[in-house]
Amino acid sequence: MTPGSTAVPALPSPRTPDPLAAPALNWGVLGTGWIAERFIGSVRRHTRQRFAAVASRGAARAEEFAVRHDITRAYGSYEELVADGSVDVVYVATEHTAHLTCARLALEAGKHVLVEKPLGINAAQAAEIARLASDRGLFCAEALWTFFLPRFDVVRQVLDSGMLGEVRSVLADMGEYFDPAGGHRILRADLAGGPLLDLGTYPVSLATWVLGRAETVQSSGVQHPAGVNGQVGAVLNTERGGQAVLHTTLFGDTPTTATVAGTEGTLHLPGPFYHPGDVLFTPTGGGTPRTYTEPRTAHEGLHFEATEVARCIKNGQLETPLRPLADSIATMRVMDEIRHRCGIDFPGE
């Protein structure tokens, strides 16, 4: 707020460009799992992007997926797809431990990449992907869809405007119950399971984005009977006295909200905070709250990341300012430290 002013500023509107106005690129998709389905559905319904090819480790699976999603070409290996000259950009929709291999395949074949979150299973892998892209002059981004949503552009403008005053505190969590008998990959140690990379990446990304580099990281974890970490709580402290209290779990559905508090006001993101949804601003000490409201359309919001990628590639940009690779690597560094503090190792580390 301007010094001396008594008016509480209204929440700004999102500046997100019209998804239908983004230049149309030809996409190739690596992997045929849960997120690939949702990404393709959302992008098809809201943009002019085209899906030229899909690849799976199994030819029959690729064929079935291509028919179901009306995709022109189906490949029985990831190598064949990245060699397809009609593909402009590759969307890596494989499980965490395959991100580095798939991103490297695509980049070495000269393709731009959008890699599902997290960029790699640790900061070293994330940095390697960033280096491979930069060495070749190719676009690369982590598909952390939250940062591309109109809701988060409102948050971005509130943070940039200084409306919150000096921000010292971030509270965020993400928890979801996973049935131990359900066979989900999140329960598999060989696929870097546990809540941190799938769910915890959202609160950690928010905290590192808002508060900057964490100087100290403390954490405490609880084991899951499946042999992975089951839940973890973490406290991050920054040099300037910022603090984040974060939690993620597989043992239950937690509120999955986020709060950013400053000397002049508090921003609250009702759960799930990483989906499309509202933003609430409450001035410190009372006053009129301000709200940004939008439909809670969940994964229907996945298309915003695709259109940002298309615009960046057409403009010759190698990264997007909405989720710079340095931020993806910084998030991974904190997650490495959280794991280190409570003894969580991933395959090959």
Ligand X SMILES: NC(=O)c1ccc[n+]([C@@H]2O[C@H](COP(=O)([O-])OP(=O)(O)OC[C@H]3O[C@@H](n4cnc5c(N)ncnc54)[C@H](OP(=O)(O)O)[C@@H]3O)[C@@H](O)[C@H]2O)c1
Is position 35 an interface residue for ligand X (rule: CB under 6 A)?
yes
Report the residue from 44, 48, 50, 57 that binds ligand X according to the rule CB under 6 A: 57
Is position 105 an interface residue for ligand X (rule: CB under 6 A)?
no
Could you tell me where the beta strands, DSSP code E, fall in 86-147?
Answer: 89-92, 112-116, 140-143
The interface region with ligand X, picked from 51-59, 131-139, 214-222, 224-232 by CB under 6 A, is 51-59
Whether the CB-CB separation of 214 and 225 falls below 8 Å is answered with no
For 2, phi and psi rounded to 5 degrees? -65, 135
Is position 104 an interface residue for ligand X (rule: CB under 6 A)?
no
CA 207 to chain centre: 13
The interface region with ligand X, picked from 89-97, 162-170, 222-230, 253-261 by CB under 6 A, is 89-97
How far is residue 66 from each of residues 9, 44, 61, 191, measured CA to CA in Å?
49, 14, 8, 25
Is position 95 an interface residue for ligand X (rule: CB under 6 A)?
yes
Q: What angle do CA 79, 72, 40 make, to 5 degrees?
A: 85
Q: How does DSSP classify residue 252?
A: S
Around Cβ 205, how many Cβ atoms within 10 Å? 26
Is position 31 an interface residue for ligand X (rule: CB under 6 A)?
yes
Residue nearest to ligand X (CB): 33
- Exposure on the CB side of residue 54, measured as CA atoms within 13 A: 27
Report the residue from 53, 66, 98, 130 that binds ligand X according to the rule CB under 6 A: 98
Kindly list the strands in the beta sheet with 140-143, ordered across the sheet, starting from the edge strand earlier in the chain. Answer: 73-75, 50-55, 26-30, 89-92, 112-116, 140-143
Query: From the CB of 200, what's the least distance to ligand X, in Å?
Result: 11
Is position 145 an interface residue for ligand X (rule: CB under 6 A)?
yes
The residue (of 93 and 214) whose beta carbon lies closer to ligand X is 93
Whether the CB-CB separation of 106 and 90 falls below 8 Å is answered with yes
The interface region with ligand X, picked from 67-75, 93-101, 161-169, 258-266 by CB under 6 A, is 93-101
For 50, phi and psi rounded to 5 degrees? -115, 140
Query: From the CB of 268, what's the least distance to ligand X, in Å?
Result: 21
Query: From the CB of 26, what's the least distance to ligand X, in Å?
Result: 19
The interface region with ligand X, picked from 26-34, 151-159, 246-254, 317-325 by CB under 6 A, is 26-34
The residue (of 58 and 182) whose beta carbon lies closer to ligand X is 58
The interface region with ligand X, picked from 18-26, 94-102, 214-222, 223-231 by CB under 6 A, is 94-102
- DSSP secondary structure string, 4-19? T--PPPPPPPP-PPPG
Smallest CA-to-CA distance from 180 within 221, 222, 230 is with: 230
- 12: cis peptide before it, omega within 30°? no
The interface region with ligand X, picked from 7-15, 87-95, 104-112, 337-345 by CB under 6 A, is 87-95
Report the residue from 42, 47, 49, 56 that binds ligand X according to the rule CB under 6 A: 56
Report the residue from 96, 151, 323, 333 that binds ligand X according to the rule CB under 6 A: 96
**Region 111-130 residues binding ligand X, contact defined as CB under 6 A:** 116-117
Is position 174 an interface residue for ligand X (rule: CB under 6 A)?
no
Chain residues binding ligand X by CB under 6 A are 31-35, 56-58, 61, 93-96, 98, 116-117, 143, 145, 185, 198
